[in-house]
Amino acid sequence: MQTEKVMIDKVVAGGLGLGRLADGMVVMVPYALPGEEILVRAKRRKKKYMEAELLEVLKPSPHRVEPYCPHFGVCGGCDLQHAEYDYQVELKENILREQLVGAKVIAEAELEKIIERPLSAPQPFGYRQRLRLQVDKNGGYGFFRNLSHDVEEIESCPLAMPEINTVLGKLPTSEAMSHLLGLAREVELLASPGDNSMILIIRLRRKPRPTDAKAAGQAADDLDLVKAVYLAADGEQIQGPYCGSLLASEDEGRSLLLLLPFPAIQNHGIAPYTLGQEAGGFSQVNLQQNERMIETLLDWVEELPAKRGLDLFGGMGNFAIPLAAKLNEVVGLDLQRAAIRSAERNAEIAGLSNCSFIRKSAVDGIKEFGAAGDVFDLVLLDPPRRGCREVVPFLDGVGNPLVIYVSCDPATLARDIKEMAKNGYALKKIILVDMFPQTHHLETMVLLTK
Ligand SMILES: C[S@@+](CC[C@H](N)C(=O)[O-])C[C@H]1O[C@@H](n2cnc3c(N)ncnc32)[C@H](O)[C@@H]1O
């Protein structure tokens, strides 16, 4: 296909540079920055635009930097490493603005009045508490290459916490681990900074057998820092922990959980605490930014008259536990049984008697509370990427609560806020939290009231 010079106007959702070809057609190019003149080759024609690859940067942006990682551009993980960190945050804020204004959720002038300064990450590298890697048929592990299912093998990932990289580099030194990798589809490394250890989850291509369980125990023994290995297969319950010479039964307490320590939140009179989580459940990948998100949540709640909170996508109590220090009562819901078990254990250890957890889907939960006349004055929404449109019609039923929505996808956030606006909700506060430096992914917190 032909090559062409293009000027990049902006970076849009997905981290792609947007410009126009000579014939006026919109073109989307990865790894390009606003203001750059680049040479591209058209790759695929879509309905409304052309996808192209970047061949050469002819006039670079002053914000372009040399990417730190040797796998950048091949590995499908990072797509903004070629931009200075502060500029990455600026680009993401512009994407967020465009999504909200473009979807007519709020007028630009209104948005400028309420948007708070973004929370940039203090550590733009080395922040990930967990890393999920693909494993190829030969036991090689890494990330999928861009737009492919081929694995780009890595020995370390600059986004991961150092302890993850320490273990990652040592995996092939364990014969037992090599046996498991030969059967695996994915390997997940989870750091437990509360006791400076690690848990590994190996997802096999087939059902685990007794020999695999033995190998998992041996691998946990072989690899320093690793306190447990779990095995999983598609459609099967996660199996383990396998802890080598350590008997799992001796470890029923917290020692086999991921332990995530939180520092004191002085402004809110909260002493340091640790949350435990069963392997396989959700945890925020960036612990430092998670702390700042919790602080923001508590700051916002302090300004509100809220007393009774409903945390509809609560996980292991990441928000509910600190919120319980501010509200009279918090009820947390989650679909995952393991998340609810962890949340209950965390509340008990924190000595909290004003929070409870129920295993239920968000929509069933809010419907049932509404039908029973159970009223809340704050609802917290932190849904997966697909958002939570299904919950919106039932907010009125639990008393028109204030809503704090934590979102990892501005498109579904915009869609859901628009739905809420039909019921009279308006955006009052908004802040971008950069949970995922070096990538286009962005986290947003918003406060809505009727
Ligand atoms: C983005 S995570 C947030 C978890 C928690 N707020 C935190 O900060 O760790 C989303 C959570 O929603 C749960 N979940 C997914 N679909 C759900 C549903 N329909 N109803 C309730 N919980 C759901 C997942 O198990 C996961 O724990």
Q: Are 14 and 440 in contact (CB under 8 A)?
A: yes
pLDDT tens track for 360-375? 999 999 999 999 999 9
Q: How far apart are CA 163 and CA 126, in angstroms?
A: 10
CA of 266 to the centre of ligand 1 (A): 27
C-beta separation of 319 from 355 below 8 A: no
Atom of ligand 1 minimally distant from the CA of 312: 21
Q: Does residue 247 or residue 371 have the better pLDDT?
A: 371
Give SS3 for 416: helix
282: amino acid identity, one letter: F
pLDDT at 252 over 70: no
Mutate to test the pocket of ligand 1, among 282, 331, 361 (most ligand atoms within 8 A of CB): 282
Tell me if 425 CB under 6 Å of ligand 1. Answer: no
Task: State residue 236's pLDDT score.
Answer: 82
Annotated catalytic residue within 69, 75, 355, 408:
408
Mean pLDDT for 241-258 is 68
pTM as predicted: 0.95
The DSSP code sequence of 284-341 is -SBHHHHHHHHHHHHHHHHTS---EEEETT-TTTTTHHHHTTTSSEEEEEES-HHHHH
Q: Is the CB of 335 under 6 A from ligand 1?
A: yes
Question: Is 405 touching ligand 1 by the criterion CB < 6 Å?
Answer: no
Is 361's C-beta closer than 6 angstroms to any atom of ligand 1? yes
Task: Give me 280's structure tokens.
Answer: 């396989």
Task: State the sign of the Cα–Cα–Cα–Cα dihedral 102, 108, 110, 112.
Answer: positive
For ligand 1, mutation pick of 285, 335, 444 (most atoms within 8 Å of CB): 335
Q: Residue 2: which pLDDT band, with cuts at 50, 70 and 90? A: confident
pLDDT digits (tens, 9 = 90+) for 309-337: 999 999 999 999 999 999 999 999 999 99
Q: What is the pLDDT of residue 273?
A: 96
How far is the centre of ligand 1, averaged over its atoms, from the C-alpha of 315 (Å)?
5
Domains of the chain plus CATH, in order, are 3-64 (2.40.50.140), 130-252 (2.40.50.1070), 284-449 (3.40.50.150)
Q: What does the mean pLDDT of the chain come to?
A: 94
In DSSP notation, 123-159 reads -SSS-BSEEEEEE-TTS-EEEEBTTSS-EEE-S--TT
Average pLDDT over residues 183-201: 96
Instruction: Return the biggest CA–CA distance within the chain.
Output: 70
Q: What distance in Å separates the CA atoms of residue 365 and residue 359, rounded to the nearest whole number?
A: 9
86-94 long-range CB contacts below 8 Å, 24 or more apart?
86/120, 87/33, 87/63, 88/124, 88/434, 88/437, 88/438, 89/118, 89/120, 89/432, 89/434, 91/11, 91/33, 91/34, 92/118, 92/432, 92/434, 92/440, 92/442, 93/118, 93/432, 94/10, 94/11
CB-side neighbour CA atoms (13 Å) of 353: 0
User: Percentage of residues in the chain with pLDDT exceeding 70?
Assistant: 97
Task: Measure the CA–CA gap between 6 and 399, rounded to whole angstroms.
Answer: 53
Predicted confidence (pLDDT) per residue in 49-104, tens digit? 999 999 999 999 999 999 999 999 999 889 999 999 999 999 999 999 999 999 99
Q: Please check whether residue 392 is in contact with residue 423, taking contact to mean a CB–CB distance below 8 angstroms.
A: yes
408 is an active site residue: yes
% of the chain at pLDDT higher than 90 = 91
CB of 358 closer than 6 A to ligand 1? no
Does 227 score more than 60 pLDDT?
yes
Question: What average pLDDT does the segment 176-204 reach?
Answer: 96
Nearest residue by C-alpha to atom 16 in ligand 1: 335
